[in-house]
Amino acid sequence: MVLRKKEEIAEIKKRLLAHYPSAKTELIYNNLYELVVDVILSAQCTDKRVNIITPALFKKYPNIEALAKANVEDVKELIKTCSFFNNKAKNLVAMAKTVVEKYDGKIPEDEKELIKLPGIGRKTANVIMIEYFKKNLMAVDTHVFRVAHRLGLSDAKTRDATEKDLVEAFKTDLHSIHQAMVLFGRYICKAKNPKCEECFLYELCNSEDKKILNRDNPVS
């Protein structure tokens, strides 16, 4: 359920887009193949860690065909510092094999088809479509979930329901808003010790986590 008035939502949207005018993922990639691998690895793992892992992985497996022929144990070794590396290694190789065998080596550019690939769920597919194709979609990770609730944009208990509330609230520019909310949640509206003194949405926040500050000069 969206808890904000239309004018408040419009102001939140305006400020997010103004503060992050060209927001994009912090994952490093050169093509769709690398992005898909990055996003699969990033589940419950930081982008910083993924960016440390992937250079060696992409050097050995530079494309989907190479990864499809990979030994799972070798992939595990290359990504072992990533969370849940055992399952992720299996999913990466299975994903690549599926793309080669069922899609002639071309990664699907459709959300519904992406979800059919091993290791790719709804959120993962949405992140890929948002980042690579700039689709008007919303993906809810831990940062977006936290920000949405702190700003009163949703009171839903699940990520899927929160996604629905955010789509209903913002309607357009969803790909840009998603990226902005991720960065906002990662660096300002953090889970612990949020930087309320730096927050450009401070007076629009009524979260219990909000710090009481002397804001003599409100954010304009």
Q: In whole angstroms, what is the distance from residue 25 CA to residue 146 CA?
A: 18
* Distant-in-sequence, close-in-space partners of 14: CB < 8 Å, separation ≥ 6: none
- Map tokens 């990664």 to a residue: 107
| Annotated active-site residue in 13, 76, 141, 165 | 141
Buried b (16+ CB within 10 A) or exposed e, 113-141: ebeebbbbebbbbbbbbbbbeeebbbbbb
155 part of the active site: no
What's 105's DSSP letter? T
Residues 64, 94: contact at Cβ < 8 Å?
no
What's 191's DSSP letter? S
In this structure, the dihedral spanned by the alpha carbons of residues 155, 161, 163 and 169, taken in order and rounded to 10 degrees, is: -60
Q: What is the number of other CB atoms lying within 10 angstroms of the CB of residue 203?
A: 12
74 part of the active site: no
| Annotated active-site residue in 13, 76, 88, 123 | 123
What are the residue numbers of the active site?
A: 123, 141
